[in-house]
Amino acid sequence: MELGIDRERCQSAGMCALTAPEVFDQDAEDGRVLLLRTRPSPGQDTAARQAADICPSGAITVIEEREGGSSAAPES
């Protein structure tokens, strides 16, 4: 899986950093999301998906990789 963030949409709620602190952090200046790992390790991907699900602004995008390594755009 691969992650993307939209800092313009982020509302600085911080749920992502609480849910997956190894993957997301918050900017010390404005509180907006920072992406620490574009490709979470297998042990981090469940928390990263949960963070995307609970983000109130839809600022986190999850791109699932298909077999063979290609990526597919998420359903919206």
Residues 25-44 as x/- pattern, contact with ligand SF4 by CB under 6 A = -x------x-----------
Helical spans, DSSP H, in 6-44: 15-19
CB of 33 to ligand SF4, least distance (A): 4
Q: Does 47 bind ligand SF4 (CB under 6 A)?
A: no
With 0-12 CB in 10 A as exposed, 13-18 as middle and 19+ as buried, what is 6? middle
Q: Does 20 bind ligand SF4 (CB under 6 A)?
A: no
Closest CA to 51 of 1, 15, 5, 25: 15
Binding site for ligand SF4 (CB under 6 A): 10-16, 26, 33, 55-57, 59-60
